[in-house]
């Protein structure tokens, strides 16, 4: 029996991973926590935070060192997003989109000139955004009306994108458009567009229920000319860019929802130890203890699913189904744990002076963006019945 390896828990981190996660959480506690309420009320990311995020090295986690990044893994991105989201899921999703969507898409599908130009910029101070959704293209992701018409050595893009995360802060955009509407999804093409390109502008910013500091805006393309060298991947293969990138993005949202749930749980545990009723802390009542236990179990489930999906991806193994399960369950856990935290806070949980009502508002988006819960269920069912 001595030759049998000791099982290692899926959630167990190496010393390096633990140090990384702890350092990001310490940063978030020190630099972000004092700004959370103000950013939420004003629905705006504090500008001073962005350079600090870059200085910490978490805006280019998977960018190869040759382009100025950390050369790390998706799992490191998950740890960073989780740690940030314990404090503010708005900052968590900014870092998530940068790493799991924008960086991953360019690193995988970009030719060398694009990688050198954009990955270097994204590691060094440029924020990125991923623009797929439109008014009539949500769950039906490829029902795009944004057109890209070939014109000499470039394409002219016309259309409107909605609900684009990071749009206010971004200077580099991945925009999906169709070069041939008759070809359906096979006409979709991905383009790199810089802020300031003639014909391209960032429009209305949405006034949202939650993650209010995270900018969500429309993009307007009015005869926006993009050189052919800015095609990301192959013409007509934009659907491949989107699908493969969003698989990783769902794991990133899982990390955001996990961090949110952990943050709500942390607040609840601290509060029930301090809040006294009937002459003793409410943590001593079994009814409260059982609620805390249920929340702890939910958080552990979310962590297991998120870490498993990220580990599989980093090992080059199939993870489509695991990513869908991760996003489905973690988004439900986040809402459930945040709601339970409000209940434990009682009347205080319902007012903005205390932190848990914000986390409850932030949790709702997890079941909507990067593929609704129903779309995740469809993916899971397809895998089960194959």
Which residues contact residue 281 at a Cβ distance below 8 angstroms, ignoring those fewer than 6 apart? 272, 273, 274, 275
Distance, first Cα to last Cα, the chain: 39
Alpha-carbon distance of 273 to 227, in angstroms, equals 61
Phi-psi map region of 66: left, alpha, beta (phi>0 left; psi -120 to 50 alpha): alpha
CA torsion angle 230 320 164 83 (round to 10):
-110
The yes-or-no answer on residue 150 being catalytic is: no
SS3 per residue for 111-169:
CHHHHHHHHHHHHHCCCEEEECCECCECCCCCCCCCEEEEECCEEEEEEEEEEEECCCC
Residue tagged active-site, from 218, 248, 322, 370: 370
Secondary element (H or E) of residue 272: helix 238-274
Integer angstrom CA distances of residue 41 from 58, 70, 86, 214, 244: 26, 33, 18, 12, 35
Alpha-carbon distance of 129 to 94, in angstroms, equals 9
Task: Kindly state the tokens that stand for 252.
Answer: 């990133």
Q: Which residues are catalytic?
A: 370
């Amino acid at each position: 029996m001595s030759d049998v390896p000791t099982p290692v828990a899926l959630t167990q981190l190496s010393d390096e991973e633990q140090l990384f996660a702890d350092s990001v959480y310490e940063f978030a506690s020190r630099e972000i926590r004092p700004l959370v309420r103000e950013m939420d009320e004003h629905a705006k990311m504090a500008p001073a935070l962005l350079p600090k995020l870059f200085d910490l090295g978490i805006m280019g986690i998977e960018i190869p060192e040759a382009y100025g990044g950390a050369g790390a893994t998706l799992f490191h991105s998950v740890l960073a997003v989780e740690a940030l989201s314990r404090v503010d899921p708005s900052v968590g999703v900014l870092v998530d989109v940068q790493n799991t969507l924008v960086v991953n898409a360019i690193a995988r599908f970009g030719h060398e000139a694009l990688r050198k130009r954009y990955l270097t910029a994204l590691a060094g101070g440029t924020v990125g955004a991923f623009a797929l959704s439109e008014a009539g293209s949500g769950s039906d992701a490829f029902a795009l009306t944004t057109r890209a018409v070939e014109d000499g050595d470039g394409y002219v893009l016309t259309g409107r994108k909605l609900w684009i995360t990071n749009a206010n802060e971004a200077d580099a955009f991945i925009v999906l458009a169709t070069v041939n509407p008759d070809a359906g999804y096979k006409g979709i093409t991905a383009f790199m567009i810089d802020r300031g390109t003639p014909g391209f502008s960032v429009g209305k910013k949405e006034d949202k229920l939650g993650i209010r500091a995270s900018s969500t805006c429309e993009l307007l393309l009015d005869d926006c000319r993009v050189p052919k060298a800015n095609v990301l991947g192959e013409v007509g293969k934009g659907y491949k860019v989107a699908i493969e990138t969003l698989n990783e993005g769902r794991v990133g949202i899982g990390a955001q929802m996990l961090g949110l749930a952990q943050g709500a749980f942390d607040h609840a545990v601290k509060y029930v130890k301090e809040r006294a009723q009937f002459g003793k802390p409410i943590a001593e009542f079994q009814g409260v203890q059982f609620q805390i236990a249920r929340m702890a179990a939910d958080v552990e489930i979310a962590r297991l699913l998120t870490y498993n999906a990220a580990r599989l991806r980093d090992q080059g193994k199939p993870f489509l189904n695991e990513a869908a399960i991760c996003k489905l369950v973690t988004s439900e856990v986040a809402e459930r744990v945040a709601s339970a935290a409000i209940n434990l806070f009682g009347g205080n949980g319902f007012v903005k002076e205390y932190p848990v009502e914000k986390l409850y508002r932030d949790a709702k988006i997890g079941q909507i963006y990067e593929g609704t819960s129903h779309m995740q269920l469809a993916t899971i069912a397809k895998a089960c019945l194959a």
